Structure 1
């Protein structure tokens, strides 16, 4: 499952992909599939206790690589980028070469798309600032060109070259492909709350078909799209750009990528901001359970707000909102409603659930969600919820999909052993997931099954990241973050030897650039002057 934020506040009638005024979709690694909602949850844990349910491997910390660059990698570290225009004013693009397999660096390359916007001045240039919006599977190049390169604070863009690289297997960097548009439509409409053996079999078949499609398209690449691989690619990019240290802002899954870089190259880690942090010490099932609880926390905040609005379609009391929404989902499971979609898609429980969860990423989308729910519940018009789900899946008006969901599964299923081995394990875990979220728990549990059928064995394990010797790293957590629960930020900050925990007391996924002057000033001071916040600083 992934944890990213779509564009929920756009008008459903607007199919242009114009960026929202707030940060671009963020994501997070997850073991489920279809949902941003997909799967995670567990009761609160202490800052230092996050490894208690992890495998024995999680007791070990990620080991730093040797300082010296191996001779076999010298051609990659010494390459020159051929910058060219890329159709977006003020941005340049280039292609970076990296070894497909770092264990066998002479046996083939992977080509990675890079983009940058040079520092505009005034003021002395600090260096390059690499950005990543999360996913896994989110296009960092798209994020840079649509948001970060024009929407980051002017003083940051003045002093840094803004840079992005699409991780291997993502978007412009040899993208993994799994299903065509019609098959993805079928996949996204598969019932995630199976009522009997036949529906369970249909769900398993959909996961198998998805996995088989990915394996047929990219049999070699699928073995080399791990987060460690992408972190090593970032070090090649750092060297090619001429930077002694990597400066970086990563959101959601991008925090795991950034923390992994710090763990592998602590002496080369510069000013790192990890916003909407993940806990790398947790196994997939625990991650999914934690995230399920995170979405429940966000939904309760939505419920409290909804009943105070005159147009709330889910009742007058906050305690009734969840039960009323669950009843609506069950009705859609029995009788999907029309959407006006040119391809004839109806709104069933799975798409409606994703539409609701998509809006949990940003409280600015709550009004749009109320309107969409009102249309669906009172007028049998599912267009608004379908639009939210399509935004989450990055489905365009012509029925095509970006490779976001394909890359998301490819990275997640390689990084960690599967959350569940089969339907029987999901069934056994359902009570815990439904306790974590009475509304979303069942669907999120079943969404965590997809990696069970992946064609490539996982190469990663849960582990701590200490990054001993790194300069101060800013870890940011939002107290009611739906996708990366606040406890994960506490846990990562406790692991990183030089971390400074910065807390945003509020709603939504991630904090930088989302309206808190306190957060923005603090992070800007760190990026521009190298001044980290006092540990455990809190903002609202």
Structure 2
């Protein structure tokens, strides 16, 4: 079993385009030392911020080069205090063919772009690597950039991993109060940065990276949430958009319930595709009948929620942990073997150690020590809740309505998507929210990519985002899993590299 779990981590690491190691994380402490004073003055336009005048100083960090930039804590005060923004670089392999810099983002929100760079340069096309300096970055509040902090592992677990019962208004109110208390602890530990890790602020940081690297235009490839970041950049800086690829597109302008329903349907569909695959594999523990097999998986998830399982060391596996452990295997079909192994353990041994380990991978948490290896989990919430402008308060009626919609979308996972109050109770909203994509119409052509059986960002989102971005074209990968470039086929690599390197946009609607 230990060998099997070790292999799990190896396969999933490749699946998610994450590097094998992560940079050292430090907790942000005293507010006064969390920021560095920049020149003060009267209010100025963001593009006139002193941070645009800084020079980047590179140093070696393994096979790459690393540097740290400064960006304003609060972009409404562009000449005010600053925080660190960590970047790294893999130089173009053919200086004679070099076109400039290509900024990459792995998604999340809260994912580390520094981690992405090492694996990206292994999976990307040779023509792309010859033409671009690949630039990774940890967005504001994340990882090796000045990070937000929200407490120790026990406090994080209590907030994120507790299974909630939300049947009465009193229970809902208690959950909302818990969200507010969690946010206030983040503010106490992180200072004003936690109020300013929204997507628009991160997009403004990207323009600083573009400028200090000496590029007139931003060339960009973003995965998953990184597509939202790219689209917001195009809205804020349409004239600065160069060649931009949005892979695993998020339609972030959809109402929250519709987004949740889309993902619930996506993971239900991935589960059924897994079941079809498993039925043809030797040792599949599931019933040969697909509907009965789906019921088995559903019962395991609900038993974890209502009664719980144990891992081999006795650590509890509740509903949240079980679902995290299941869905993490659905991001790439190469990981289905580990979903099969986890189900086999539960069905035949009555323990859930594999799902416990898999959940730890999803959460970037060491299952052996219980410590979190990065701040991606609470960065995800802090960024997402700042962006969630205009969400309605949660009530018994609204939650019942959501449950009905999500149960219909996913009989297996719908309850889980409806088992929290979301961002209700988060005290702050983004100061510059993007609620429409209109200015982006003036941007240079963008390439939007969707995968037909993507569970996390359904292909319909790529189609709708492409419709909203008037200058975009749509590329479809017929396949399983989350995102396409670097994990799909040569057709996708040729299409993306042909656009990024040669400027040849594939015909909209091309399928690979």
Which range, TM-score by smaller chain? 0.7 to 0.9
Secondary structure of the residue aligned to 2:424 is helix
Assess if the C-alpha contact under 8 Å between 1:466 and 1:495 holds in 2: no
- Counterpart CA distance in 1 for 2:47 and 2:235 is 22
Quote how far apart the aligned CAs of 1:183 are: 2.5
> 1:393-424 CA distances to partner (integer Å, 9 max, x unpaired)?
00024322110011111111111236552352
Shift of 1:188: 4.1
Higher RCO structure, 1 or 2 (CA under 8 Å, sep 6+): 1
- Paired position in structure 1 for 2:129: 157
Q: Deviations over 1:294-331 (max 9, x none)?
A: 22222222222222323222311112222221212222
Q: 1:273 to 1:220 in 2, by over 3 A?
A: same
2:284–2:344 contact (8 Å) kept in structure 1:
yes
Alignment-derived partner of residue 506 in structure 2: 533
1:372 matched residue in structure 2: 342
**What corresponds to 2:41 in structure 1?**
none
Match of 1:20 among 2, 10, 13: 13
Task: Indicate if the aligned counterparts of 2:448 and 2:475 stay in contact, CA closer than 8 A.
Answer: yes
- Aligned residue in 1 for 2:30: none
Structure 1 counterpart of 2:242: 270
Q: Is 1:445 matched up with 2:418? A: yes
1:241 aligned partner: 213
Q: Secondary structure at the match of 1:450?
A: coil
Asked if 1:391 corresponds to 2:361, the answer is yes
Distance 1:472 1:458, change over 3 A: closer
Higher mean C-alpha displacement, 438-447 vs 288-297 = 288-297
Q: CA deviation at 1:458?
A: 4.5
Q: 1:265 to 1:195 in 2, by over 3 A?
A: closer
Question: CA 1:271/1:71 → structure 2, altered by over 3 Å: closer, same or farther?
Answer: closer
Structure 2 gaps, min length 5: 20-43
What residue number does 1:432 align with?
405
Equivalent in 78, 82, 87 of residue 57 of structure 2: 82
Structure 1 contact 191–203 (Cα < 8 Å) conserved: no
Partner of 1:127: 100
- The alignment partner of 1:176 has SS state of coil
Q: Deviations over 1:414-448 (max 9, x none)?
A: 1123655235222332111111111111110124x
Alignment of 1:53-92 (within 5 A): 70=45, 73-86=48-61, 88-89=62-63, 91-92=64-65
Report the Cα distance in structure 2 between the residues aligned to 1:454 and 1:534, rounded to whole angstroms: 43
For 2:6, what is the secondary structure of its paired residue? coil
**Alignment partner, residue 106 of structure 1:** 79
* Counterpart in the other structure of 2:276: 304
Determine whether 1:523 maps to 2:496. Answer: yes
Contact kept, 8 Å, 2:16 with 2:331, in 1: the verdict is no
Matched, 1:511 2:475: no
In structure 2, the residue matched to 1:255 is 227
Where does residue 217 of structure 1 map in the other structure? 189
Which whole-Å CA distance do the structure 1 matches of 2:112 and 2:456 have between them?
18
Q: Choose 503-512 or 182-191, whichever is displaced more.
A: 182-191
Structure number having the greater helix percentage: 2
* TM-score with structure 2 setting the length: 0.88
In 1, Cα distance between equivalents of 2:243 and 2:500? 6
Q: 8 Å contact 1:192–1:350 — kept in the other structure? A: no
Q: CA offsets, 1:371-402, max 9 Å, x none?
A: 11110121022111111111100002432211
Q: Normalising by structure 1, what TM-score?
A: 0.83
- In structure 1, the gaps of 5 or more residues are 1-9, 27-68
- 2:371 alignment partner, one of 393, 400, 415: 400
Partner residue in 2 for 1:57: none
Alpha-carbon distance between aligned partners in 2 of 1:269 and 1:332, rounded to the nearest angstrom: 47
